[in-house]
């Protein structure tokens, strides 16, 4: 074994925890399980909560079902085994002179190691009985002499997340000692900013730094009740002086007031956000110094006839966004833009105009979509639109390639179903023309090598990772990039994930759409729902029915599966025809059912959430989602975005399991609003960013202190401060 000499070149805070007195290999391994490797990690180990130990109760004062802290000496302890030694209860009995208290742990026999008769034990928990007084699974700590009163008692005492074998009290002492020793080494991470921040403030305390208030609207009160407040009132007032980093770390562990840990969190989260935003902005700046834009001003020779023949007028919102895109595409640096717009707001047409600008300027365009169904739908639409302009459109999905040049869209439709492959002579004839290539992730693979790629469009981009997006971009020499998403992304997430992209938002839906209403129903109302469905089908409408999974077997009980229901409903719904669509079908089967549904040869489409993105069949005006409690709110909003696309009124019925009252309550948000941004906010509060974005989404940074569900004001401030770091010459 080697003994590590202190390395003078690394900051003391970066030293491994083994450099601390009292931390040997075993303790270090335990800390490692909490991801505490260095002194800094230890100082940033966040208490789960603080316990007010200035107010201890005697055992006799304990009340039923009320959490409280008390202490007493162990007068007896032991483990009882039963069920053939497979189950156990470990129990200690405490006495403090006023009464006795039983503390029990079920099936944790190793607890016995931590206690001995005579120990003075501090207990936090809720009595579940008073005869005798009993608490199950309390938090405990064995009190010892010495520093007690300063560190562990008579104060707001930090309670840390632990792992097996690591005592609360030992960890608290270690953090206390480490803080005493290293507090003076904790530097302000951004000395340049401290210069821009006026120190002192009203209190004259040099440990506080005053943050210059940015040009955001007044956000006075600091409330932390995230669920019931609007995003802007949730964050701290930016007038609050931030503590220095060193002071924040002390407040985090050993606060003087109950508010200090949250104030500390704000400061430490701000540091995290500044670091992230600084990286984002550096990346963007590096990109801009390297990348010369391909000039794509266009000359209107395609766009003009395209818009003329479209059959509707662009909305003001679409026109405004298009103006921004045009400016980008004539700019000095390549466009890097995120186009957001709620489901059905008409992003595809805007993307088409953008593509035409590039094509007019002699560049090829690649459009990538997350599913084959969506790629094919785009192919049909774009060939329809571009065919009269004699522009080449090509489809590439899972090992297949189809081109449209001089062919009518209806023929393409049959081409999709018949699976004819194009002739190579045909392919070679068009290689030197600027081409629009539409495809799935197959575009990323090596086979696709576009000539003169000027624009990359990514649809439903939240289904792709950042890496995939950049791989496609690298197929050209700094092409323009337009990414589109219908999942409205709350601003905190947008700024974190897409901070280096400019953002355009289509703020209104096209006119002339029927009303979309949503109803939440318990499963026992299903017969009525089907009756209603039948009446709609009789009136000539089409419907989607969505189930949470493909097959019955495996997985949780009580969830309906699309294949099973298909068998049932095929007969039940006759004479109407029912189609089946899910991810396990062969591509050819998926296509033919979509073609049949579009052509109204199939009236009811049974599907999984596969149809979530993009599918556009305006005559479908009814959607029934079973086991709706299984889906996230944002996902349900996406799903119901498949209806309400025509002039007819549409209805979405969310059926939730009869017993889950709470689940139905959550779903009512969808009854109340059609605003995707509002829904995404609620989803973020309820389920957190990871779930909201879906598991595929990579690249979401991990924060120790930052909270994307509530830190919008901090993120905005961090962005501004990071900008001062990256562009010190400006302002
Ligand atoms: P999304 O933004 O969800 O991708 P789409 O681009 O699929 O929405 O558009 C939804 C529907 O609205 C399509 O059928 C499209 O043709 C139609 N649409 C788009 N823009 C307009 C408009 N300005 N006026 C009328 N209909 C429009
Ligand atoms: Mg779309």
Please tell me the distance between residue 343's alpha carbon and the centre of ligand 2 in angstroms.
7
Cα–Cα distance for residue pair 618/647, rounded to 1 Å: 8
Q: Is 349 in the pocket of ligand 1 (CB under 6 A)?
A: yes
Q: Is 616 in the pocket of ligand 1 (CB under 6 A)?
A: yes
Please tell me the distance between residue 519's alpha carbon and the centre of ligand 2 in angstroms.
24
- How would DSSP label each residue in 131-154? TTEEEES-EEEEE-SSTHHHHTSS
Alpha-carbon torsion (404, 408, 411, 413), positive or negative: positive
- CA-nearest residue for atom 9, ligand 1, is 346
How many separate helices (H) and strands (E) can be counted in the chain? 23, 26
pTM for the predicted model, two decimal places = 0.72
Pick from 265, 119, 120: which is nearest to 710 by CA?
Answer: 265
The ligand 1 atom nearest the CA atom of 486: 3
**Distance in Å from the first CA to the final CA of the chain:** 55
- How would DSSP label each residue in 365-398? EEEE-SSHHHHHHHHHHHHHHHGGGT-EEEEEET
- CA-nearest residue for atom 15, ligand 1, is 346
Which-ligand-closest: CA of 645?
Answer: 1
pLDDT bracket for residue 491 (50, 70, 90): confident
Pinpoint the alpha helices (H) of 407-525: 409-418, 424-430, 466-473, 491-497
Alpha-carbon torsion (215, 217, 223, 229), positive or negative: negative
Cα–Cα distance for residue pair 680/391, rounded to 1 Å: 38
Please tell me the distance between residue 645's alpha carbon and the centre of ligand 1 in angstroms.
8
- Are 366 and 444 spatial neighbours (Cβ–Cβ below 8 Å)? no
Which-ligand-closest: CA of 342?
Answer: 1
Cα–Cα distance for residue pair 352/305, rounded to 1 Å: 13
Looking at per-residue confidence, does 330 or 701 come out higher? 330
- CA-nearest residue for atom 26, ligand 1, is 510
Range with the lowest mean pLDDT among 261-265, 476-480, 491-495?
491-495
Looking at per-residue confidence, does 219 or 344 come out higher? 344
What is the tens place of the pLDDT at every residue in 161-191?
Answer: 999 889 888 999 999 999 999 999 998 998 8
Q: Is 343 in the pocket of ligand 1 (CB under 6 A)?
A: yes
Please tell me the distance between residue 347's alpha carbon and the centre of ligand 2 in angstroms.
6
> 10 Å Cβ neighbour count for 446?
6
At 284, is the secondary structure helix, strand, or coil? helix
Which-ligand-closest: CA of 643?
Answer: 1
Range with the lowest mean pLDDT among 212-226, 285-299, 330-344?
212-226
Q: Is 312 in the pocket of ligand 1 (CB under 6 A)?
A: yes
- CA-nearest residue for atom 24, ligand 1, is 510
**pLDDT higher than 50, residue 526:** yes
Pairing of strands 392-397, 542-546: unpaired
The ligand 1 atom nearest the CA atom of 341: 2
Exposed/middle/buried for 487, CB within 10 Å: 0-12, 13-18, 19+?
buried
The mean pLDDT value of the chain amounts to 83
What 474-479 contacts at long range (C-beta under 8 Å, 24+ apart), as own/partner pairs, is 475/366, 475/443, 475/448, 475/449, 475/450, 476/450, 476/452, 477/294, 477/453, 478/290, 478/291, 478/292, 478/293, 478/294, 478/334, 479/294, 479/334, 479/363, 479/453, 479/454, 479/455
Token pair in block for residue 316? 């003001």
Q: Is 645 in the pocket of ligand 1 (CB under 6 A)?
A: yes
DSSP conformation class of 308: H
pLDDT bracket for residue 234 (50, 70, 90): very low
Token pair in block for residue 436? 């629009």
Pick from 569, 562, 564, 560: which is nearest to 534 by CA?
Answer: 569
Pick from 170, 164, 172: which is nearest to 30 by CA?
Answer: 164
Q: Is 579 in the pocket of ligand 1 (CB under 6 A)?
A: no
Q: Is 316 in the pocket of ligand 1 (CB under 6 A)?
A: no
The ligand 1 atom nearest the CA atom of 459: 4
- Are 364 and 450 spatial neighbours (Cβ–Cβ below 8 Å)? yes
Looking at per-residue confidence, does 613 or 136 come out higher? 136
Q: In the prediction, which pLDDT does 309 show? A: 93
Q: In the prediction, which pLDDT does 601 show? A: 94
Pick from 624, 403, 595: which is nearest to 529 by CA?
Answer: 624
Pick from 105, 100, 90, 88: which is nearest to 139 by CA?
Answer: 105
pLDDT bracket for residue 147 (50, 70, 90): low
Cα–Cα distance for residue pair 704/273, rounded to 1 Å: 11
**pLDDT higher than 60, residue 711:** yes
Please tell me the distance between residue 345's alpha carbon and the centre of ligand 1 in angstroms.
6
Q: Is 345 in the pocket of ligand 1 (CB under 6 A)?
A: yes
- CA-nearest residue for atom 4, ligand 1, is 347
Cα–Cα distance for residue pair 199/244, rounded to 1 Å: 10
Q: In the prediction, which pLDDT does 728 show? A: 66
Q: Is 125 in the pocket of ligand 1 (CB under 6 A)?
A: no
Phi and psi torsions of 684, nearest 5°: -65, -40
Ligand 1 pocket test, pick from 308, 322, 345, 346 with the greatest ligand atom count within 8 Å of Cβ, gives 346
What is the tens place of the pLDDT at every residue in 667-677?
Answer: 999 999 988 88
The helix (H) or strand (E) run that includes residue 120 is: strand 120-125
Pick from 264, 254, 262, 265: which is nearest to 53 by CA?
Answer: 254
């Amino acid at each position: 074994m080697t003994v590590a000499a202190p390395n003078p070149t690394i900051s003391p805070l970066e030293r491994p925890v083994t450099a601390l007195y009292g931390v040997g290999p075993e303790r270090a391994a335990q800390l490692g399980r909490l991801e505490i490797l260095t002194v800094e990690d230890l100082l940033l180990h966040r208490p789960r909560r603080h316990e007010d130990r200035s107010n201890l109760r005697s055992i006799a004062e304990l009340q039923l079902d009320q959490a409280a802290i008390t202490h007493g000496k162990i007068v007896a302890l032991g483990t009882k085994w039963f069920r053939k030694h497979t189950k156990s209860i470990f129990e200690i009995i405490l006495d403090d002179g006023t009464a006795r208290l039983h503390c029990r742990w079920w099936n944790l026999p190793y607890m016995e190691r931590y206690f001995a008769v005579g120990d003075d034990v501090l207990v936090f928990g809720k009595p579940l009985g008073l005869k005798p007084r009993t608490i199950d699974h309390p938090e405990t700590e064995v009190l010892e002499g010495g520093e007690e009163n300063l560190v562990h008692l008579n104060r707001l005492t930090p309670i840390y997340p632990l792992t097996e074998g690591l005592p609360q009290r030992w960890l608290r002492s270690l953090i206390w000692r480490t803080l005493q020793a290293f507090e003076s080494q904790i530097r302000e991470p951004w000395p340049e900013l401290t210069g821009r921040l006026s120190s002192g403030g009203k209190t004259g305390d040099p440990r506080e730094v005053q943050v210059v208030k940015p040009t955001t609207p007044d956000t006075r009160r600091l409330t932390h009740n995230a669920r019931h407040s609007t995003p802007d009132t949730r964050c701290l007032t930016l007038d609050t002086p931030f503590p220095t980093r060193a002071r924040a770390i002390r407040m985090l562990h050993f606060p003087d007031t109950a508010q200090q840990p949250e104030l500390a969190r704000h400061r430490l989260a701000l540091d995290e956000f500044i670091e992230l935003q600084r990286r984002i902005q550096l990346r963007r700046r590096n990109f801009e110094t390297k990348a010369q834009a391909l000039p794509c001003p266009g000359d209107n020779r395609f766009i003009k006839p395209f818009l003329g023949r479209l059959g509707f007028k662009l909305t003001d919102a679409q026109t405004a966004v298009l103006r921004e895109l045009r400016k980008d595409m004539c700019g000095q640096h390549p466009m890097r833009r995120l186009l957001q717009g709620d489901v059905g707001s008409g992003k595809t047409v805007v993307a088409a105009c953008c593509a035409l600008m590039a094509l007019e300027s002699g560049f090829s365009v690649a459009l990538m979509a997350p599913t084959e169904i969506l790629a094919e739908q785009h192919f049909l639409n774009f060939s329809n639109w571009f065919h009269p302009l004699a522009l080449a459109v090509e489809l590439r999905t899972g090992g297949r390639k189809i081109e449209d040049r001089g062919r009518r869209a209806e023929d393409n439709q049959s081409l999709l179903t018949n699976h004819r492959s194009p002739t190579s002579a045909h392919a070679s004839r068009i290689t030197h023309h600027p081409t629009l290539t539409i495809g799935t992730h197959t575009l990323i693979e090596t086979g696709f090598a576009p000539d003169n790629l000027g624009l990359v469009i990514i649809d439903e981009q939240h289904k792709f990772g950042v890496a995939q997006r950049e791989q496609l971009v690298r197929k050209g020499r700094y092409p323009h990039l337009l990414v589109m998403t219908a999942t409205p992304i709350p601003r905190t997430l947008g700024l974190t994930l897409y901070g280096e992209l400019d953002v355009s938002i289509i703020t209104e839906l096209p006119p002339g759409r029927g009303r979309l209403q949503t109803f939440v129903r318990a499963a026992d109302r299903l017969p009525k729902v089907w009756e209603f469905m039948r009446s709609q089908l009789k009136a000539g409408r089409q419907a989607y029915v969505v189930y949470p999974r493909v097959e019955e077997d495996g997985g949780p009980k009580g969830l309906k599966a699309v294949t099973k229901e298909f068998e049932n409903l095929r007969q039940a719904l006759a004479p109407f025809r029912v189609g089946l669509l899910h991810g396990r079908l062969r591509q050819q089967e998926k296509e033919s059912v979509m073609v049949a549904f579009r052509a109204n040869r199939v009236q009811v489409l049974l599907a999984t959430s596969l149809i979530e993105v993009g599918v556009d069949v305006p005559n479908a005006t009814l959607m029934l989602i079973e086991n709706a409690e299984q889906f996230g709110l944002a996902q349900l909003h996406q799903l119901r975005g498949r209806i309400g696309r025509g002039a007819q009124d549409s209805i979405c019925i969310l059926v939730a399991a009869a017993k889950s009252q709470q689940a139905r309550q959550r779903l009512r948000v969808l009854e109340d609003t059609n605003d995707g941004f509002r829904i995404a906010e609620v989803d973020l509060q309820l389920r957190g960013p990871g779930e909201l974005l879906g598991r595929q989404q990579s690249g979401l940074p991990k924060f120790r202190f930052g909270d994307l569900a509530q830190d919008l004001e901090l993120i905005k401030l961090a962005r501004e401060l990071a900008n001062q770091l990256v562009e010190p010459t400006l302002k």
